């Protein structure tokens, strides 16, 4: 029987700062604000004959790239049923409940999610991580997103 090992990658450097607002309903949303998001991972893989399971470096680099790709941006959901986003002359026009907010397109990321929450970010970032993951002997890959001390969500992939 193969032995499984669990690796945890939780580095202080794996963080990004971003602005957002959470949408609660058709008429209610948070005010624009920001977070210093932390990103970490849990990797469960078969331990090989050499005593290793998964290559830490592959995942450390991938997590850092994810953080770098989202650092210092305004995050907007592209799939919200209540937020309408249009692009006009180098700006995103985000209209919610009759109010339009303008954000420069080069400082804004339009993400394929329904809301900018730690739950949605965890699933979105896990999908991005899966694009570069070495699935070989992986049993599980879980990605965590925190928005502050004691506040986090995770999304998990399990091998079929």
Read off the pLDDT of residues 75-93 as tens digits, 9 standing for 90 and up. 999 999 999 999 999 999 9
Residue 132, CA atoms < 13 Å, CB-side half-sphere: 15
| 86-102 core/surface letters (b: 16 or more CB in 10 A; e: else) | eeeeebbebebeeeebe
Q: Are strands 73-77 and 15-20 parallel, antiparallel or unpaired?
A: parallel
Inter-axis angle of helices 118-130 and 56-70, nearest 10: 130
CATH of 4-158, one of 3.30.479.10, 3.20.20.210, 1.10.150.120, 3.40.50.920: 3.30.479.10
Residue 52: predicted pLDDT: 82
Domain residue spans of the chain: 4-158
What whole-number distance in Å separates Cα of residue 24 and Cα of residue 86?
Answer: 21
Residue 102: predicted pLDDT: 98
Please determine, for residue 1, whether its predicted confidence score (pLDDT) is greater than 70. no
Read off the pLDDT of residues 43-59 as tens digits, 9 standing for 90 and up. 999 988 888 888 888 99
Residue 26: predicted pLDDT: 97
67 closest CA partner among 138, 146, 1: 146
Please determine, for residue 158, whether its predicted confidence score (pLDDT) is greater than 90. yes
Residue 49: predicted pLDDT: 83
Read off the pLDDT of residues 112-145 as tens digits, 9 standing for 90 and up. 999 999 999 999 999 999 998 877 788 999 999 9
Read off the pLDDT of residues 92-113 as tens digits, 9 standing for 90 and up. 999 999 999 999 999 999 999 9
């Amino acid at each position: 029987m193969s032995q499984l090992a669990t690796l945890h990658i939780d580095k202080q450097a794996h963080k990004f700062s971003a602005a957002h607002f959470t949408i609660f309903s058709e008429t209610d949303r948070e005010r624009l604000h920001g977070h210093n998001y932390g990103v970490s991972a849990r990797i469960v893989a078969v331990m090989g004959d050499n005593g290793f399971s998964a290559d830490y470096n592959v995942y450390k680099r991938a997590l850092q790239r994810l953080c770098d790709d989202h650092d210092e941006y305004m995050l907007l959901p592209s799939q919200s049923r209540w937020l309408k986003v249009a692009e006009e002359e180098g700006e995103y026009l985000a209209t919610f409940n009759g109010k339009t907010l303008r954000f420069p397109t080069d400082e804004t990321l339009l993400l394929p999610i329904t809301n900018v929450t730690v739950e949605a970010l965890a699933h979105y970032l896990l999908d991005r991580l899966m694009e570069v993951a070495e699935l070989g002997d992986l049993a599980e890959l879980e990605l965590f997103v925190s928005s502050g001390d004691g506040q986090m969500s995770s999304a998990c992939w399990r091998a079929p």
